[in-house]
């Protein structure tokens, strides 16, 4: 199969951007206008929430109208029995999807990933083809694929950046989210932004109410559990977090109920990221965008801000933060550009540079310096 050239969906953002490919799966040539509709919906859903709304000039969306012989997607055979679980995990009630269904589609997407009926994955062969076809499309950084499957049954799946469903593909340059045409639109919007929260935002699932999923994931995709502490899910409480995440009660999640938990309340899924996930995704934008101008050196006065002791006894600590969080590994200079020692692990440096300025030379913005 030849490589299909991605088609830009809007006016090109030439400078400082990352690239998203919206890809058709299970659409026959006669069904491609339906894919076009859902590709637009997916782009709009992402651009409707922060931080993507404020960064719309940093995202280029492309369509890949890959045709399939068959309409719809396959269902994998249930490969074995998950110990202590039901044979196939089916929290969505998709009992019509429990048995193997074969389809001739462009990307081999299928239900029953990890024996979970609504969990979507793709074959190793086609996942490698995706890497071969588009791995270099982003000009050095990753490209983010959103594959829309031509079925209205609830289903989704995603990778984390650099971590593929198939472990034989190491350091993938494409990060994949797979979604279906679920209805109504509010559910579709939730699904695409949630899965993109995984594949772009590097955020983990914050829901914890499902022991069967926990068992199935541990049984079939144990390699994902190696990455036990993602940005928004941790083994210990950093302070102010919420108990329960990634399908178990023993982990901690950053937000109560933003779209990475997606708890369905009063007829609606949560829309958008809550704090701190929104700023974590902003960091991801800064990390993944290419062709961005350097912000250059920034100067901050560190004279007497927040000082609580007399100058002679003062041993101020300087905390460098970016988007409200300490920055690790920052280089700080005094006003003659002499390097000031900085403890990247503890995020403090001790200074005698009273009433002087500090210059911060970051790869990205540093928004504040605060003396304690
Ligand atoms: Zn998820």
Q: How far is the CA of 354 from the centre of ligand 1 (A)?
A: 49
Looking at residue 215, what is its pLDDT? 78
Say whether domain 7-288 belongs to CATH 2.30.40.10: no
Q: How far is the CA of 163 from the centre of ligand 1 (A)?
A: 15
Looking at residue 97, what is its pLDDT? 53
Residue 11: other Cβ atoms inside 10 A: 8
Q: How far is the CA of 301 from the centre of ligand 1 (A)?
A: 43
**CB environment 134-171: b (16+ within 10 A), e (fewer):** bbebbeebbbbbbbbbbbebbbbbbbbbebbbbeebee
Rounded CA-CA distance 96/114 in Å is 17
Q: How far is the CA of 134 from the centre of ligand 1 (A)?
A: 24
Q: How far is the CA of 323 from the centre of ligand 1 (A)?
A: 25
Sign of the CA dihedral with 184 first, then 189, 190, and 192 last: positive
How far is the first Cα of the chain from the last one, in angstroms, to the nearest whole number? 61
Q: How far is the CA of 126 from the centre of ligand 1 (A)?
A: 22
Looking at residue 89, what is its pLDDT? 53
Residue 309: other Cβ atoms inside 10 A: 9
pTM of the predicted model as reported, rounded to 2 decimal places: 0.80
Residues 139 and 161 sit within 8 Å (Cβ to Cβ): no
Rounded CA-CA distance 209/249 in Å is 8
CB neighbour class for 211 (10 Å; exposed up to 12, middle 13-18, buried from 19): middle
Domain residue extents for the chain: 7-288, 298-371
Looking at residue 267, what is its pLDDT? 83
Residues 351 and 296 sit within 8 Å (Cβ to Cβ): no
Rounded CA-CA distance 288/349 in Å is 29
Q: How far is the CA of 305 from the centre of ligand 1 (A)?
A: 43
Divide the 372 residues of the chain into consecutive groups of 10 and give the mean pLDDT of each group.
92 92 98 98 98 95 98 83 50 57 96 86 96 90 96 92 89 96 95 97 89 77 68 89 91 94 88 93 86 53 35 41 45 45 35 38 40 39
């Amino acid at each position: 199969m030849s490589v299909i050239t991605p088609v830009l969906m809007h006016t090109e953002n030439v400078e400082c951007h990352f690239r998203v490919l919206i890809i058709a799966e299970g659409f026959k040539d006669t069904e491609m206008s339906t894919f076009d509709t859902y590709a637009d919906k997916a782009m709009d859903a992402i651009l409707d929430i922060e931080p993507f709304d404020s960064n719309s000039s940093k995202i280029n969306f492309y369509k890949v109208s890959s045709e399939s012989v068959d309409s719809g997607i396959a269902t994998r055979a249930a490969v074995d029995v998950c110990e202590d679980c039901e044979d196939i995990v089916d929290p969505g009630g998709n009992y019509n999807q429990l048995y193997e269904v074969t389809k001739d589609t462009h990307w081999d997407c299928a239900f029953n990933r990890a024996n979970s009926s609504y969990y979507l994955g793709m074959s190793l062969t086609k996942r490698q083809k995706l890497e071969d076809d588009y791995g270099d499309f982003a000009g050095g950084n990753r490209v983010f694929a959103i594959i829309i499957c031509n079925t209205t049954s609830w289903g989704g799946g995603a990778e984390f950046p650099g971590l593929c469903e198939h472990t034989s593909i190491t350091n993938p340059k494409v990060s994949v989210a797979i979604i279906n045409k679920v209805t109504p639109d509010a559910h579709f919007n939730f699904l695409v932004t949630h899965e993109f929260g995984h594949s772009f935002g590097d955020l983990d699932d914050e829901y914890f109410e499902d022991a069967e999923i926990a068992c199935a994931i541990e049984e079939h995709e144990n390699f994902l559990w190696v990455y036990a502490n993602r940005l928004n899910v941790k083994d210990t409480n950093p302070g102010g977090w919420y108990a329960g995440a990634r399908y178990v009660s023993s982990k901690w999640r950053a937000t109560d109920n933003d779209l990475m938990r997606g708890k369905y309340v009063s007829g609606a899924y949560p829309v958008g990221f809550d704090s701190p996930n929104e700023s974590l995704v902003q960091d991801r934008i800064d990390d993944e965008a290419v062709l961005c101008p350097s912000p250059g050196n920034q100067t901050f006065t560190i004279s007497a801000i927040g000082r609580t002791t007399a100058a002679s006894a003062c041993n101020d600590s300087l905390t460098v933060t970016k988007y409200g969080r300490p920055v690790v590994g920052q280089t700080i200079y005094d006003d003659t550009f002499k390097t000031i020692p900085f403890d990247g692990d503890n995020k403090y440096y001790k200074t005698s540079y009273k009433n002087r300025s500090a210059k911060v030379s970051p790869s990205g913005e540093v928004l504040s310096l605060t003396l304690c």
